[in-house]
Chains A and B, each alone.
Chain A
Amino acid sequence: MNCTTLLPRHIALVAAVAALTAVPPSTAAAQVSNDVVKVGVLTDMTGAYSDLAGPGSVVAAQMAAEDFGGKVLGKPIVIISADHQNKADIASNVARKWFDEQQVDAIADLVSSSTALAVMPVAAEKKRITLLSGPGSTPIEGEKCTAYNVHYTYNTYSMAAGTGRAVVQQGGNSWFFITADYVFGKSLQGDTAKVVTASGGKILGDVRAPFPTTDFSSYLLQAQASGAKIIGLANAGADTINAIKQANEFGLTKKQNLAGLLVFLSDIHSLGLSTAKGMYLTTAFYWDRDEESRKWSKRFFERHKKMPTMVQAGVYSELMHYFKAIQAAKTDDADKVMAKMKETPVNDFFAKNGKIGPDGLHRHDMFLAQVKSPEESKYAWDYYKIAKTIPASDAFEPPDPSCPLVKK
């Protein structure tokens, strides 16, 4: 798992190049470019992902800046934000403008994979850091990886594998998938199917629904006819919500069980417990898991009036990690900060002993959660029972050799 062996050489090279070209001769120990550490939160403020990231991510980023004291190495931390509207061209436009004109040092969140993949190469080219919390696509740490990227919160594999394995172990050994006919849907299905078969389960069939879809009754009927014990929902957002709602309506949940493969706290909140109860899902963070997470989440709730999703908590945690790395490296130079971030384990309310690999993926424990029934829920936002901790080594795959940064 820990593949930092590559790093020293790599950094030495980059540092040498940087020393020759970019860095002006200076002997000062602590260096912050432009006398400010500027972080841009680029997220979906209005679209399909605005509840799971969006304004809440901006709040989390502001909290991180404040909790760090508003200053790092004596220079102010500034948080700015913009809406990428889930469009790659807008995202890369804003990113370029931020880098070129507003001296932004790092961009956080980037909630859909197309925007993340569009911004990453721009950032790498300009030697700025991307701290992804929202997207889940695995090519981010595979063939499309860059040296200046951290993929912090989750990826589709970690979501799929956790749920898949746990459900098979609980006896759910025959599966049918309702899959969003999009890359993320197919990769969720593929990853889950791999784990299910490896754990001794069977895949009975699948149906690929266009994304987005409102009416799932036809697909649910096909799922019902398959006789599978588990119906895997390899979709997201409103689609998952509608699928779950209609599965209840058509009485599927009496004989079969649902497994949501990409479900966020915000989805459960808008779905309501009476519909979602009993469902298994994987999450990187749950606000009510322990004292530490509760403490932070309650502060977040004060400001945002909603409990944080794992993406929003991830934004806070990744920014704290980033600021600490600047502190430790005594500079905001992207190469040195990346090196620090990768060599220092993450230990906070979000992750215990999480490690950022050479491919930029943050590997940490994930949690298998089961949605509570309305009777079990004692107070507002009391939604999950944490059924199991999935150790980082099971939750994430080892570094993918198709990423050029990974030593083969």
Chain B
Amino acid sequence: MSSVPVLPVPRVRRTWEAWSYAALFTVGFMAPWFVYPVFAMNVLCLALFASAFNLLLGYAGLLSFGHAAFLGSAAYVTGQAVKVWGLPVELGILAGTAVAALLGLLFGVLAIRRSGIYFAMITLGFAQLVYFLVVQMSWTGGEDGLQGVPRGKALGLVSLHDNLSMYYFVFALFMAGFWLIHRTIHSPFGHVLRAIRENEPRALSLGYDVNRYKLLAFVISAGLSGLAGSMKVLVIQSATLSDVHWHRSGAVVLMTLLGGMGTPVGPSVGALLVVALENYMASYGSWVTVITGGVFMTCVLAFRKGIVGEIKELVKRWF
């Protein structure tokens, strides 16, 4: 990574990225024929969430420990909009995403003034505040959650009741979000972010308004996390406290790290693994906690670049 903003992208990286995108798209497109569609949708939602988180951690070097607040608040707002106010699905998603982005702006303005562990703790503090509000407000249903959210119709035409049509609706949204992240990473803006991550004082001395860049990255990340939350509430048809709990914020760190932070496809791979672990090992009881912990430790000790990062390394060495 260079700290000089605009550099031609090396060809190796181009082709690597093209291949990984193609793989992601193919897998995503074929998934509902091979695995259970609801499981696949759940993976897509969390994959977008992790990718949005990765934009912040992997490219701007900011570790947020409160991202569940964006996912969760969007889920509640979309759920409420679609269920109680009877808004069409698209408007519901828009409302959820907008609220998350606004929340991101609010948190961001305050938090980006700090970095490192302090930044993480401030975001955690705000997220705890959001959790508290969700518990206190009556429309969220407390620990019962907001239940029975209807899936509605896409564009007022296609019923999303059917799992397969819902899947492709979610997949389209995921790809849109993913494309936005891709564009952000490869824009001059993305290069400045990386420059800030590598050497903030230098970026500052080059005349970049570091805080504005960071803030924008934070808002985009929050908004996309919100989009993921809005999708999730429609897929699962409920929003509950676990969507805003700090465990969710911790899980997204795990996904990103496991898949490979700073790689565009890594977080999606990580999300797939974590959701699979949660779902397919559901009958193993508390050993899941032990295994998750073990995966965490192995990952940190042996595969620090994450799965995709390590594969990329191997590919580079061989070709």
Contact = CB atoms under 8 A, between A and B. Distances in A.
A210 B136 CA distance: 10
A121 B286 contact: no
Interface string B223-250: 0000000001000111011110000000
Interface in B141-180: 141-145, 147-148, 163
A83 B42 CA distance: 17
A82 B236 CA distance: 18
B240 A87 contact: yes
Contacts of A122: 237
Interface in A77-120: 80-90, 92-94, 96-97, 100-101, 112-114, 117-118
Contacts of A87: 240, 242
A55 B236 contact: no
B36 interface: yes
B143 A81 contact: no
A246 to B, nearest CB: 23
A211 B31 CA distance: 40
Interface size class, chain A: 35 or more
Contacts of B313: none
B38 A96 contact: yes
A139 interface: yes
A217 interface: no
Contact of B240 (A83, A88, A137, A144): A88
A216 interface: no
A39 interface: no
Nearest to A84: B282
B283 interface: yes
Contacts of B242: 86-89
Nearest to B248: A87
Interface stretch (A21-29, A180-188, A262-270, A355-363): A180-188
Nearest to B233: A89
A90 B36 CA distance: 14
Contacts of A137: 144
Contact of B238 (A85, A89, A112): A89
B243 to A, nearest CB: 8
Contacts of B141: 183
A103 to B, nearest CB: 14
Contacts of A81: 283
Contacts of A90: 278-279, 282
Interface of B: 36, 38-39, 42, 135-136, 141-145, 147-148, 163, 232, 236-238, 240-243, 278-279, 282-286, 288-289
9 contacts: A50-B285, A86-B242, A93-B38, A93-B39, A117-B147, A117-B148, A121-B237, A181-B136, A183-B144
